[in-house]
Structure 1
Amino acid sequence: MLSLNLREEKEKEELVFLCPKATKSKFSRGRRIFEPECEVRTAFERDRDRIIHSKAFRRLKHKTQVFLAPKGDHYRTRLTHTLEVAQIARTIACALRLNVPLTEAIALGHDLGHTPFGHAGEEVLNEILEGGFRHYEQSLRVVDYLEKDGLGLNLTYEVRMGILKHSKGKGPISISSHEEVSLETQVVRFSDVIAYVNHDVDDAIRAGIIKTEDLPEIVLKELGKTHAQRIDTLIKSILWTTRSAEYKKICMEPKKLSALETLRNFLFEKVYFSPFVRREFDKAKRILYSLFEFYFKNFERIEYLVKAKELFPEEDETRLIADYLSGMTDRFALYEYFEHFIPKPWGFGHVEEVIAL
């Protein structure tokens, strides 16, 4: 049988077909722990596959995006958000001849550390942990340490840094001149914002919180009136502007960027901090505060925490509890709350039966 190293062929093709400023898998800075290379997949393809097969990735399907326990099957979850980000990022990376597997890996892993109940969970852990809590830092902690019972996924440097630097919160979407961030990471940063502002508009309209005509005039004029029009406009703006700028960085026409930032600010005011959403967030926060207090007082009784302390003896208990809480799905957090705080009627041994009453 002939020896055929498909990975090496792919690496050679990258050197020929990718744009000069794209990240080449052949020149990756490597992994935290050395591993022999795969004969079939490039380093970034392996990272993408490891993320998809991870437990943290599967849990995203039961984590809130914005609306907690919505009555309907079409509201976004953290998983559907991640898939939308990955698809937008892939489209941009393909068109700009960037490294698509690297872009996909960053996009698919960017929210692995997100908490249950959306940003309500992040607010709780940010208030509890000394030094605060940021989901992108937790995402890196997940892939470095928490997955595979403390072994981590051993991803490449480029994917790890992309996950860490994909988000600026409410800060500037474009990178500043002093930031050393790969073009693929910048693509994911833009794609994340493009995805969430548009699908959150869609979900907020579905929930009856806003109407299309409520959107700021600059958004309707510059980006379009429909979900598809806005995404199409923003992607095309990135492609044309970045190519015109000779790939110095991923960028967007000033008017389109201003409209995107206006839409993001509008959502914070009218949706994320609306009385309807905040009322449910406050309920979720009380659940997580109660769980944190219970785990802190009963640390030695919680099997996960005892095992975590064995794996990470140098970590304090607060940090390990934060890992536990941030990894929970919404429904598991609710299960734990019912288990530890809701009295069970006599004759019913399982919390599922209590919930069903």
Structure 2
Amino acid sequence: MALAPYATRPEDSRGRLVAEPPSRHRSPFQRDRDRIIHSSAFRRLKHKTQVFVEHEGDYYRTRLTHSIEVAQVARTLAKALRLDEELTEAVALAHDLGHTPFGHTGEDALAEVMEPYGGFDHNAQALKIVTSLETHYADFEGLNLTWETLEGIAKHNGPVTGDLPFALSEYDARHDLELSTHAGAEAQVAALADDIAYNNHDLDDGLRAGLFTVGEIAELPIIGPAYTAVDRAYPGLPARKRRYEGLRRVFGAMVEDVLQTSADALEDSGAQSAAGVRALGRPVICFSDGMFADLKHIRAFLFARMYRHPDVAEMRKRSDRIVRELFAAIMADVALMPDDWQAAAEACEETGRARMVADYVAGMTDRFAIDLHARLFGTN
């Protein structure tokens, strides 16, 4: 299928920071996707929290399974909108590479301790990972991704302005990602796919964990009509299948809404190129106003009943303490890091050392952080 006029074309890519010969068999964005999948940071997502700490159950989402689900939704949307699927998938797979152990709890803790040293942000950290911290290639540091993929990682959620996290400003100074504009449509698709995936799977994980019931969520918009449709089509369906069939329809409703709303927005925009999309000054991939309002109700429910549930809150408190104490302990003794990290940290002044320690802690998996903390402090 031919790409739409507003799609990002691989042959028009702005290229890589370090020039490389083109591949005979893969587009530049396919190569980006493949490098992300083969990165160490991507593998570590298997053992990083989504909502529940990784070891709490085999059936809950981790950052890895979440990223795979986001990529699936993103490719579906990109194909339907005639966008470049490989670029969309690359951004989707990379969007959470910078997450710390214990998800947003770990990020919040690391951001606070790093405030005197330039701050910490998981999107900026993802960019740092793919531009410097992955060290597998002979000719360059990082993964040497295309400008379009880097742009999507940095600003898939919209323009980045104001006080920039150090990791973002440092890279942008040598490779301008035009942070004040919206990203291309492919990166915008990855951002909406993220919203669709977590809205759906957080409901599923919350039900599986017993934090709320199908009867309770059936009182919410979108979800109630979905279960009514299931009961009409399949009266007497066993509870497990009924739960899945209802959420399947919620998922479908979000996807269809984004497709219709975005197709209309793209047509109305008049954009005839990827550059034209960036120049609009507004996103073109979006939910309808009605769907957005309904999702706010669902998110408020999840916030109260899942993200702030006493059991989850207790784990958040423990996770916060682990990250803070690990950061402080390693700052005081960089010998706690591997030899190559230790040598580099010893050569730095305080701010540089703090940034290295933050990189090291952020790269930990849940289980590694828990085990290291137990060895250092005797208890979690």
Coarse TM-score class (shorter-chain normalised): 0.7 to 0.9
Q: Residues of 2 paired with 1:121 and 1:271: CA distance? A: 17
Once the two structures are superposed, residues 50-96 of structure 1 have per-residue CA deviations (whole angstroms, 9 ceiling, x without a partner) of 00000000000011110124543211011000000000001010111
State whether residues 70 and 197 of structure 2, in contact with CA within 8 Å, keep that contact through their aligned partners in structure 1: yes
Aligned position for 1:296: 331
Kindly report which structure 2 residues correspond to 1:138-177, keeping only aligned pairs within 5 A, or say none: 138-148=125-135, 151-167=141-157
Q: Name the % identity.
A: 44
Larger relative CO (CA 8 A, sep 6+): 1 or 2? 2
Matched, 1:219 2:189: no
Contact 1:136–1:166 (8 Å) recurs in 2: no
In the alignment, residue 223 of structure 2 is paired with which amino acid? L
1:246 shift after superposition = 3.4
Q: 1:307 Cα shift?
A: 4.3
Q: Which residue is equivalent to 2:197?
A: 195
Amino acid at match of 2:129: V
Q: What's 2:303 paired with?
A: 268
Cα distance in 2 for residues equivalent to 1:317 and 1:258: 44
1:224-258 Cα deviation digits (max 9, x unpaired): 67221111111111112222233431133221122
How big is the alpha-carbon RMSD for the aligned residues of Structure 1 and Structure 2?
2.4
Check conservation: 1:223, 1:234, Cα contact below 8 A. Answer: no
- Partner residue, 1:7: none
Q: What are the residue-to-residue correspondences of 1:30-69 with 2, within 5 Å?
A: 30-69=15-54
- 1:221 Cα deviation after fit: 4.5
SS at 1:217 equivalent: coil
- 2:155–2:182 CA contact under 8 A, matched in 1: no
For 2:124 and 2:41, how far apart are their aligned partners in 1?
Answer: 14
Question: For 1:287, which of 322, 327, 350 is the aligned residue?
Answer: 322
Q: Which residue of 2 aligns with 1:172?
A: none
The normalised TM-score by structure 1 is 0.83
Counterparts of 2:145 and 2:129, CA distance in 1: 11
Matched, 1:316 2:352: yes
Select between 37-46 and 71-80 the one with higher mean Cα deviation. Answer: 71-80
Q: Distance in 1 between matches of 2:36 and 2:349?
A: 26
Q: Is the 2:13–2:148 contact (alpha carbons within 8 Å) kept by the matching residues of 1? A: yes
State TM-score, norm by structure 2. 0.79
Residue of structure 2 equivalent to 1:242: 262
Structure 1 segments unaligned to the other structure (5+ residues):
1-15, 169-177, 344-354
Cα distance change of structure 1 residues 315 and 96 upon mapping to structure 2, 3 Å threshold: same
* Aligned counterpart in structure 2 of residue 332 of structure 1, from 368, 371, 378: 368
Tell whether the 8 Å contact from 1:296 to 1:317 is kept in structure 2 after alignment: yes
Please say if residues 219 and 262 of structure 1, whose CA atoms lie closer than 8 Å, have aligned partners that are also in contact.
no
In 2, distance between residues paired with 1:146 and 1:88? 28
Structure 1 residues 260-309: Cα deviation after superposition (integer angstroms, max 9, x where no partner): 23222322222112222111111111111111111011014532532443
1:162–1:185: 8 Å Cα contact kept in structure 2? yes
CA distance in 2, matches of 1:222, 1:21: 35
- Alpha-carbon shift at residue 222 of structure 1 (Å): 6.3
**Which amino acid is 1:292 matched to?**
F
**Alignment-derived partner of residue 26 in structure 1:** 11
- Aligned-pair CA distance for 1:311: 9.5
Give the distance between the partners of 1:73 and 1:203, measured in 2 at CA: 11
**Residue 350 of structure 1: aligned partner:** none
1:79-118 equivalence runs, <5 A: 79-118=64-103
Check whether the contact 1:102–1:159 (CA below 8 A) recurs between aligned residues.
yes
Indicate whether 1:231 and 2:251 are aligned: yes
Does structure 2 conserve the Cα–Cα contact (< 8 Å) formed by 1:76 and 1:203? yes
Deviation at 1:189, TM superposition (A): 0.7
Rounded to whole Å, the distance in 2 between the matches of 1:49 and 1:312 is: 34
Q: Is the Cα–Cα contact under 8 Å of residues 122 and 134 in structure 1 kept in the other structure?
A: yes
Q: 1:190 to 1:205 in 2, by over 3 A?
A: same
2:15 & 2:226 partners in 1: Cα distance?
Answer: 40
Q: Confirm or deny that 1:136 pairs with 2:123.
A: yes
Structure 2 vs 1, CA of residues 183 and 114 (structure 1 numbering), >3 Å: closer, same or farther?
same
User: 1:223 Cα deviation (Å)?
Assistant: 6.2
Aligned 8 A contact 2:114 2:354 in 1: yes
- 1:72 paired residue number: 57
Q: Cα distance 1:71–1:124, how it changes in 2: closer, same or farther (>3 A)?
A: closer
Further displaced range: 226-235 or 77-86 = 226-235
> Given that residues 272 and 278 in structure 1 are in contact (C-alpha distance below 8 angstroms), is that contact kept between their aligned partners in structure 2?
yes
Letter in 2 for 1:217: L
Deviation at 1:25, TM superposition (A): 0.6
- Partners in 1 of 2:7 and 2:26 — Cα distance? 18
SS of corresponding position for 2:266: coil
Instruction: Tell me if the contact between 2:346 and 2:353 (Cα under 8 Å) persists in the aligned partners.
Output: no
Could you say if the C-alpha distance between residues 246 and 39 of structure 1 is closer, same or farther in structure 2, counting changes exceeding 3 Å? Answer: same
